[in-house]
């Protein structure tokens, strides 16, 4: 996938696992989100109640198949072995995870995304071979229990001003009401968890976010 294709894929990036789906079947929630127009998917089975072992692998396989059917890139969070086992299109790792350079070596050809909270982390991740950066938290987040301090879209704008040209996606507390500011700050897309996965109507929530992100990118 070229950097240009990756930028387009990052426009509306849903990140989810069973703990984020408000008790609903994550497969049904993802199918609805895909119908609503999400452009990339991250399987992040983490936090209280997360599946482990065979159940985790089975859910990952079902979500992978859904994305395959829709031609949407499927990324696995943290677990490189699971990403390889599921034939994922990529992996997303945090600063505390296996260094991007090791991951790059083990996953030749896969998309490698890395979380970055500041310029130094962004530069080291890109030097290690990251294909895109997840920058946040943009706003107060309901999902990540150990989130770093909220930096807002300004934090992402600072990275662009400092010369970071790589594909960037903002994450943390993003919904249809505040997504535009993240893209206007220079992000290629918005990564969304609860605003879609916990929505009463995930398809409608994804469609509203898809319109919001397309409108800003179209206007830039
Ligand atoms: C901790 C994370 C930070 N950023 C991202 C994403 F936005 F998708 F790149 N995903 C994560 N799991």
Residue 93 and residue 101 in contact, taking contact as beta carbons nearer than 8 Å: no
Q: Please give the residue that has the higher pLDDT: either 188 or 105.
A: 188
Distance of alpha carbon 189 from alpha carbon 158, whole angstroms: 16
Residue 166 and residue 126 in contact, taking contact as beta carbons nearer than 8 Å: yes
Q: Please give the residue that has the higher pLDDT: either 143 or 77.
A: 77
Taking Cα atoms as reference points, which of 74, 81, 39 lies closest to residue 196?
39
Residue 156 and residue 168 in contact, taking contact as beta carbons nearer than 8 Å: yes
Distance of alpha carbon 212 from alpha carbon 89, whole angstroms: 26
Question: Quick one: average pLDDT of 84-96?
Answer: 93
Residue 115 and residue 95 in contact, taking contact as beta carbons nearer than 8 Å: yes
On the question of pLDDT at 55 being above 90, the answer is yes
* % the chain with pLDDT above 70: 99
Any atom of ligand 1 within 6 Å of the Cβ of 37? no
Residue 163 CA: distances (Å) to CA of 40, 81, 101, 158, 192:
25, 33, 22, 9, 25
Q: Please give the residue that has the higher pLDDT: either 68 or 220.
A: 68
Average pLDDT of the chain? 94
Any atom of ligand 1 within 6 Å of the Cβ of 94? yes
Distance of alpha carbon 195 from alpha carbon 214, whole angstroms: 17
Ligand 1: residue whose CA is nearest its atom 12 = 77
Write down the ipTM of this complex: 0.99
- Least reliable range by pLDDT among 4-18, 48-62, 92-106, 164-178: 92-106
Distance of alpha carbon 209 from alpha carbon 218, whole angstroms: 14
Q: Is the dihedral of CA 48, 147, 77, 172 positive or negative?
A: positive
Report the SS3 class of residue 144. Answer: coil
Res 98: pLDDT? 65
Question: Quick one: average pLDDT of 46-53?
Answer: 96
Res 106: pLDDT? 83
Q: 97: pLDDT confidence band, cut at 50, 70 and 90?
A: low
On the question of pLDDT at 66 being above 70, the answer is yes
Beta bridge partners of 16: 43
Question: Quick one: average pLDDT of 165-186?
Answer: 97
Q: Around 34, how many Cα atoms within 13 Å sit in the side-chain half-sphere?
A: 22
Res 215: pLDDT? 92
Residue 166 CA: distances (Å) to CA of 36, 82, 129, 176:
27, 26, 11, 24
Any atom of ligand 1 within 6 Å of the Cβ of 117? no
On the question of pLDDT at 177 being above 90, the answer is yes
Q: 54: pLDDT confidence band, cut at 50, 70 and 90?
A: very high
Residue 10 and residue 167 in contact, taking contact as beta carbons nearer than 8 Å: yes
Best of 113, 117, 174 for a ligand 1 pocket test (most atoms within 8 Å of beta carbon): 113
pTM value? Answer: 0.97
Residues 99-116: pLDDT tens digits?
777 888 888 889 999 999
Report the SS3 class of residue 168. Answer: strand
Distance 75 CA to ligand 1 centre (A): 10
């Amino acid at each position: 996938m070229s950097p240009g294709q990756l930028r387009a894929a990052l426009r509306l990036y849903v990140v989810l696992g069973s703990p984020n789906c408000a008790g609903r079947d994550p497969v049904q929630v993802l199918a609805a989100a895909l119908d609503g127009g999400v452009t990339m998917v991250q399987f992040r089975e983490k936090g209280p109640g997360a599946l482990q072992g065979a159940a985790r692998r089975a859910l990952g396989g079902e979500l992978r198949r859904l994305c395959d059917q829709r031609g949407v890139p499927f990324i696995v969070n943290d677990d490189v072995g699971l990403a390889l086992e599921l034939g994922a299109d990529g992996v997303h790792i945090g600063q505390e995870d296996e260094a991007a350079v090791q991951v790059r070596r083990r996953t030749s050809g896969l998309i490698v995304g890395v979380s970055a909270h500041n310029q130094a982390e962004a530069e080291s991740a890109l030097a290690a071979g990251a294909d895109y950066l997840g920058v946040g938290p943009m706003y107060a987040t309901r999902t990540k229990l150990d989130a770093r301090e909220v930096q807002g879209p300004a934090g992402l704008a600072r990275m662009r001003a400092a010369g970071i040209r790589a594909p960037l996606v903002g994450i943390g507390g993003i919904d249809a009401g505040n997504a535009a500011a993240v893209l206007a700050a220079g992000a290629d897309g918005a990564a969304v968890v609860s605003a879609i996965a916990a929505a009463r109507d995930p398809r409608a929530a994804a469609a509203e976010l898809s319109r919001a992100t397309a409108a800003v990118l179209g206007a830039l």
